[in-house]
Amino acid sequence: MIKKFFVAAVAMAMSFAMMAQGIQETVVTVGELTVPAYTMSFEKTDVKTVQEAVKLRFSEARLKTKTIEGYLAVPEQLVAEIANAPVTLYTKVAEQGKKKDKKVVLTVCVTTTDLTIDQNMLKENVRSYMAGFPPYIDRYEALKIMNAEQANLKKAEKAAAAAASEVAGYDKSIAASQKKIADKQNEIKKLNEKIKQCEQDIKDLEKSIEKDKSKKAEAEKKAAAADEKVNSVRGEVERYREMSE
C-alpha cells in the first residue's frame, strides 16, 4: 500500500506541475489600497484544496493568519522569502470561468509600511514566493490521500478485528461442541460396557434357570416317588387296619 501511495503522490506532483499555469501580474484593491498582485490558476482541482495548501504553507512557516477584507492574510510579519522586514501578505482563492473552462485562481499581494524595502526586489520576491505554492498543493493532496488511506486502514483493521473475534467465537463454540461430543462418546462407551454386563448377567441368569429347571425335574421325580411310597404305605396301613378289626 505504501508503494501505491508513493506512486500516486509522484503522479499527482507531475500532474499539478502541468496543471499550474503561468504567473500573471495584475492589480487588486485591498480596502482603500490598490496594490500590484500576482495570480496563478489551476485546473483539475478545487478551491478547498488550494486554500488548504496555502494554510499548510503558512502553518509550516509558523505564520499567524487572519481574515482581512476577504483575504486570508499574514499581517505584519517577517516572511523570509519575501523581505527582511515585516510585511502583510494577502492571499485569496476563487473559482473562475464556466463549467467547461472552470479553474481555480490564487491571488497573492503584499503591502508594507517599511519604506526601506526595495519595491522592485519586493515584486520579484513575491513572484518567486508565488511560484512555490504548487508543491504545497501536491503535498496537501498527498496528505489528503494518506489520511483517507489511514481511515480505510482503521476500518479494515476494525473489520479484521471483528472477523478475528467472530472466528474466535466460532472456535470456542466448536471446542465446546467437541467436548460435548467427547462426553457423549464416553457416556456411550459406559452404556455399552453396562449393556455388555447386562447381557452377561442375562446369560448367567439363563444358565441359572436351566440349572434350576434340571434340579426341579429331579425334585419332581423325588416328589412323585415319595407320593407313590406314601400311597403304598397308606395302602398297607389300611390293609392291616382291616385285618385288625
Indicate the pLDDT class of residue 20, thresholds 50, 70 and 90: low
What's this model's pTM, rounded to 2 decimal places? 0.59
Indicate the pLDDT class of residue 75, thresholds 50, 70 and 90: very high
Closest CA to 101 of 173, 148, 176, 43: 43
Give residue 150's pLDDT.
Answer: 93
Domain annotation covers residue 43: yes
Residue 128 belongs to domain with CATH number: 3.30.310
Domain annotation covers residue 127: yes
Domain annotation covers residue 199: no
CA–CA dist 227, 146 (Å, integer): 117
Domain annotation covers residue 186: no
Q: Are 69 and 132 in contact (CB under 8 A)?
A: no
- pLDDT (tens digit per residue) in 195-235: 999 999 999 999 989 988 988 888 888 888 888 888 888 88
Q: Which domain holds residue 126?
A: 2-152
Indicate the pLDDT class of residue 3, thresholds 50, 70 and 90: very low
Domain annotation covers residue 183: no
Q: Choose between 4 and 208: higher pLDDT.
A: 208
Q: Are 100 and 113 in contact (CB under 8 A)?
A: no
Give residue 82's pLDDT.
Answer: 94
> Please, what is the average pLDDT of the chain?
87
Considering its fold, how many domains does the chain have in total?
A: 1
Give residue 12's pLDDT.
Answer: 42
Amino acid making up residue 142:
A
Give residue 50's pLDDT.
Answer: 95
Closest CA to 73 of 83, 58, 95: 58
